[in-house]
Amino acid sequence: MDSPRIFTVSELTASIRGLLETQFPFVSVAGEISNLRQPYSGHFYFTLKDDRAQIKAVLFKMQQRYLSDRPVDGQQVVCRGRLSVYEPRGDYQLIVDTLDFHGAGAMQLAFENLKKRLATEGLFAEDRKKPLPLMPEHITLVTSPNGAAVHDFIRVARSRCPQTGLAVYPVAVQGEQAAGEIAAAIVDINTHGHTDLIVLCRGGGSLEDLWAFNEEKLARAIAASRLPIVSAVGHEIDFTIADFAADLRAPTPSAAAELILPDSRALALQVNQLRGRLYRTMSARLERYASRTAMYRQQLGIMRRPLEQMLLQLDHSAGAMERAVRNRLAAEQERLAQAAGRLRRQNPLVLLQLRGRQLVEQQRRLRHAAAIFLENRDKSLARIAGVLDAVSPLSTLARGYSIVRKAGDGGEIITDYNQVEKNSRIEVILQRGYLECTVEKTGEKRTRPGEKTGGDRE
Span 43-48, average pLDDT: 93
250 and 122 assigned to the same domain = yes
Pick the last residue of a domain from 260, 294, 322.
Answer: 260
284 and 376 assigned to the same domain = no
The answer to whether residue 3 sits within a structural domain is no
Q: How far apart are CA 332 and CA 336, in angstroms?
A: 6
Q: Residue 153's pLDDT is what?
A: 92
Q: Residue 280's pLDDT is what?
A: 84
124 and 245 assigned to the same domain = yes
**Residues 142 and 198: beta-carbon distance below 8 Å:** yes
Per-residue pLDDT tens digits for 199-228: 999 987 777 788 899 999 999 999 999 999
The answer to whether residue 4 sits within a structural domain is no
Per-residue pLDDT tens digits for 270-298: 657 878 888 888 888 888 888 887 777 66
329 and 412 assigned to the same domain = no
Contacts of 298 (CB under 8 A, 6+ apart): 39
**Residues 429 and 442: beta-carbon distance below 8 Å:** no
What is the domain extent for residue 411?
A: 397-458
Contacts of 233 (CB under 8 A, 6+ apart): 200, 201, 202, 210, 213, 240, 242, 243
Mean model confidence pLDDT for the chain: 83
Q: How far is CA 383 from CA 176, 369, 375, 379, 394, in A?
A: 90, 21, 13, 6, 18
171 has pLDDT over 90: yes
Judging by DSSP bridges, how do beta strands 44-49 and 27-37 pair with one another?
A: antiparallel
The answer to whether residue 48 sits within a structural domain is yes
Q: Residue 264's pLDDT is what?
A: 46
Span 232-255, average pLDDT: 88
- List the CATH number of the domain containing 220: 3.40.50.10550
Q: Residue 191's pLDDT is what?
A: 92
Q: Residue 407's pLDDT is what?
A: 82
238 and 136 assigned to the same domain = yes
Per-residue pLDDT tens digits for 69-113: 788 888 888 888 888 888 888 788 999 988 887 554 567 777 888
206 and 253 assigned to the same domain = yes
82 and 151 assigned to the same domain = no
Output 316 or 439, whichever has higher pLDDT: 439
326 and 189 assigned to the same domain = no
pLDDT-above-90 percentage for the chain: 24
Per DSSP, 2 falls in state: P
**Residues 254 and 203: beta-carbon distance below 8 Å:** no
341 and 351 assigned to the same domain = no
Span 15-20, average pLDDT: 80
Distance of CA 202 to the CA centre of its chain: 21
Q: Residue 267's pLDDT is what?
A: 46
Q: How many folded domains does the chain comprise?
A: 5
151 and 235 assigned to the same domain = yes
Q: Residue 384's pLDDT is what?
A: 84
Using CA atoms of 190, 192, 193, 199 in order, give the dihedral in degrees to the nearest 10.
-30
Per-residue pLDDT tens digits for 158-169: 888 888 999 999
Span 120-149, average pLDDT: 91
Q: Residue 244's pLDDT is what?
A: 94
**Residues 27 and 14: beta-carbon distance below 8 Å:** no
65 and 158 assigned to the same domain = no
273 and 241 assigned to the same domain = no
> What is the value of pTM for the model shown?
0.40
The per-residue b/e assignment along 252-279, b for 16 or more CB within 10 angstroms, e otherwise, is bbbbbbbbbbeeeeeeeeebeeebeeee
Pick the last residue of a domain from 319, 345, 371.
Answer: 345
